[in-house]
Amino acid sequence: MLDSLRNAASTWIAKLLLGLLVVSFAVWGISGQVLNDQSRNVLSAGSSSVSMLDFRLAYDRQINALSQQLGTRVTREQAVAFGLDDQVLQQLAAGALLDEEARRLGLGLSGDKLAQLTADDPAFRGPDGRFDRQQFDFVLRQIGMRPEDYLKNREQVAIRQQIVEAATDGMNVPDELFKNLALYRGEDRTVEYLAVPRALVEPVAQPDDATLQAWFDERKDAYAAPEYRKFSYVKLEPSDIADPEGISDAQVQKAYEDLRDRYTTPEKRTIDQIVFSDRAAAEAALKDLLDGKNFADVATAAGKSSSDIALGTLARSDVADDAVADAAFSLEANQFSDVIDGAFGPVIIYVSDIQSEVVQPLSEVESEIRQDLALEEAARVLLDVHDSYEDARAGGASMAEAAERLKLSMRTIEAIDASARRPDGTIVGDLPVSAELLREVFESETGIENAPLSMGGNGFVFYEVEGITPERDRSLDEVRDQVTQDWLKAETDRLLAERASEFAKRLEEGASLEEIATEIGQEKQVKRGLKRNANDADLGQAGVAAVFSVPRNGTGVFANPAGDGQFLFRVTEVFEPASATAESIPDNQRATMRSALADDLLDQMVARLQGKYPVTVNRAAMQEALSF
């Protein structure tokens, strides 16, 4: 709460222009007279109060901020679930308390200072970087605020800031606290531990009927049958209406010729090259080749290794140097070129192998081409089919009839819950746009022709709810097997926890882990250098937390993160880091701690002010403000 208050005190107008007060004032045009009735304040503290209008503005600011954070518009119901109403009340109450204290202290702000604060705000600067009255008027018009209202609010925030700064400016965290934090974070431990397996208490006897019934009755809600819905849907994508048989042979032939490159593997050649520093060296090497020396020997004589000369097996388009490409693709296999002026100097090319161009015949790719052309045509007429379906429904046709007319398939899901499970527990995993479709199905009612869902701009899903089976309590007989399994697991866990606790008590009384390990046929393990915030692969985060929750020689028990029993442990060594100093805490963390300490002081101050000026909340006025 106070963190928001402090931020608001220092950057109020920036937040105002970023959306904190960018609220539609058309709302207040409808109900402004009611909202501005000062006898209907939402809260008051002494002589200071918060009007219905101020509450609604603050509430909308919080809605906007939370919506931006979550990336989706927050509804009124979601805001209530987040506790937004009370958060806004707390923030406004803190501001009212500061206003009342400022009034009692006689704090104020001169007209010159207020003018300076306004002029210094970057939101009101013109092209020359200085305060611009026209820009000031424009910004306030955009948010529906009068200049006098802005100046009043700016003055109020500046006066509050005087109190905030008086309480928190110059706040320093002692170096000793930073040092202790470094010691705390840098500490490492040695722990001895022992697995206490479930096998020690297994098998657990089957429960009798009375025991199982009592256990089930206490947890009946966990076994309730969820709401199930029956619905049908028709999917419309290009693949659903594509007609390969409607594509003529002439269309296939033309597409094959137009797309010949797609079905052609170009000729490739294995090319070696020797790049020389000057043409004289290249001409001398060419003479050696003409005299019968092989290409590899000439390359070696030029100081080149086999990797230096290997250009690779490449298509013509893959050779970056046009001169080299022209030469390489004019040679026969096992031929060398004349001296070529390459991009990096004189070069001689040698082609050792030629892989001829390969063209897939039309017979091999005809069906693929025909299908592609059919999909292209289907995509072109998709919206026409969509409109024809909608016309059929508007004319009174059922979903099944409209689908049949357009040769589309209708699928019916007999029963599904909101998590996509059937009554037998299996998942319906092949629904189109499944998450969105399920959400809409469970928000719809039976017999309603719903608007189709878009499939990413490449199709539609038409759906209709045909039946709703309400959630209900199940009887024990319906879920006896599952309840029995759950009871056995819970009973095993209980018995194992009791056994592990007995071992922990024996450790505290002086027994050793070795004794207990021998007794239960397990091997003691040792973990050294364990850090406080580690997510250890063997112990898990919860295990590490348990190890650091006891002093040296302390013992305890925690669940095996692998899910198989418990671990019994004793901390044998605790080491403090030798390099732990106040300076070892990063600057950003030091600043965070200073801010947290300042917030604590502000919390205490506001709590004290609330004792001086009790806050009264008018819930009826608050709800009325939210109704507009």
Burial label for 239, CB within 10 Å (0-12, 13-18, 19+), is middle
> How confident is residue 47, by pLDDT bands cut at 50, 70 and 90?
confident
Give one DSSP letter per residue of 19-85, joined into a string: IIS---THHHHHHHHHHT-GGG-SEEETTEEE-HHHHHHHHHHHHHHHHHHHTSPPPHHHHHHTTHH
Q: Residue 472 gets which letter from DSSP? A: B
Residues 6+ apart with CB under 8 A from 252: 362, 366, 369, 370, 373
Angle at 61 between CA 93 and CA 118, to 5 degrees: 85
Could you give the CA distance from residue 395 to residue 393 in angstroms, rounded to a whole number? Answer: 5
pLDDT for residue 216 is more than 60 = yes
Q: Which of 89, 86, 114, 97 is CA-nearest to residue 167?
A: 97
pLDDT tens string 195-205: 999 999 999 99
**Of 19-23, 38-42, 496-500, the least confident:** 19-23
* CA distances from residue 442 to 271, 430, 463, 466, 471 in whole angstroms, order as listed: 65, 18, 11, 12, 13
What is the C-alpha separation between 327 and 354, in angstroms, rounded? 14
Identify the pLDDT of residue 26.
Answer: 29
DSSP letter at 125?
B
Please give the Cα distance from 366 to 245 (Å, whole number). 12
Residue 372 C-beta-side C-alpha neighbours within 13 Å: 10
Q: Where would I find the H helices in 343-433?
A: 362-394, 399-405
Please name the amino acid found at residue 515: E
116-148: pLDDT as tens digits: 888 888 878 888 888 888 888 887 777 667 888
Q: How far apart are CA 69 and CA 92, in angstroms?
A: 21
Residues 312-369 have pLDDT tens digits of 999 999 998 999 999 999 999 999 999 999 888 999 999 999 999 999 999 999 999 9
Lookup result for tokens 């520093």: 277
Structure tokens at 185: 């974070």
DSSP 3-state assignment of 9?
A: helix
Averaged confidence pLDDT in the chain: 85
Q: Do 232 and 411 touch, CB atoms closer than 8 A?
A: yes
Is residue 308 scored above 80 in pLDDT? yes
Exposure string for 200-225, b = 16+ CB within 10 A, e = fewer: bbeebeebeeeebeebbeeeeeebee
Find the range with the poorest average confidence among 81-95, 122-136, 148-162: 148-162
Q: Which residue has the tokens 């003479």?
A: 287
Q: What mean pLDDT do residues 208-215 have? A: 95
Confidence class of residue 547 from pLDDT cuts 50, 70 and 90?
Answer: very high
The 10s digit of each residue's pLDDT in 374-390 is 999 999 999 999 999 99
Angle at the Cα of 94 (from 90 to 99), degrees rounded to 5? 145
Q: Considering only CA atoms, which of 229, 213, 219, 216 is closest in space to residue 471?
A: 229
Strands of the sheet with 453-454, listed across from one edge: 410-416, 228-236, 460-469, 453-454
Fold of 2-170+606-627: Triger factor/SurA peptide-binding fold (1.10.4030)
Q: Is the model's pLDDT at 468 over the cut of 50?
A: yes
| Measured distance CA(508)–CA(496) in Å, rounded | 18
Instruction: Tell me the torsion sign for CA atoms 77, 78, 84, 86.
Output: positive
Q: Residue 476: how many CA atoms within 13 Å on its side-chain side?
A: 15
What pLDDT is attached to residue 463? 97
Query: Edge to edge, what strands does the sheet with 48-50 contain?
Result: 48-50, 43-45, 615-617
DSSP 197: -
Statement: residue 18 has pLDDT above 50: no
Other residues' Cβ atoms within 10 Å of the Cβ of residue 453: 18
Structure confidence at residue 171 (pLDDT): 67
Give first-to-last CA distance, the chain, whole Å: 26
Tokens of 343: 């991009």
Produce one character per residue of 240-267: b if its CB has 16 or more CB atoms within 10 Å, e if not. Answer: bbbeeeebeeeebeebbeeeeeebeeee
Exposed / middle / buried, residue 482 (Cβ in 10 Å: 0-12, 13-18, 19+): middle
Q: Which whole number is the average pLDDT over 248-264?
A: 92
Residues linked to residue 567 through DSSP beta bridges, in sequence order: 195, 558
Looking at residue 446, the DSSP 8-state letter turns out to be: B
For domain 267-356, the CATH class is: alpha beta
In terms of Cβ atoms closer than 10 Å to its own Cβ (0-12, 13-18, 19+), residue 474 is middle
Single-letter amino acid code for the residue at 454 = S
For the chain, give every domain's residue range. Answer: 2-170+606-627, 188-217+481-575, 228-239+383-469, 267-356
In the block, residue with structure tokens 């009735």? 37
Which segments of 509-554 does DSSP mark as H helices, in order?
Answer: 513-520, 540-547
Report how far residue 354's alpha carbon sits from residue 307's, in angstroms, rounded to the nearest whole number.
20
Across 400-427, average pLDDT = 95
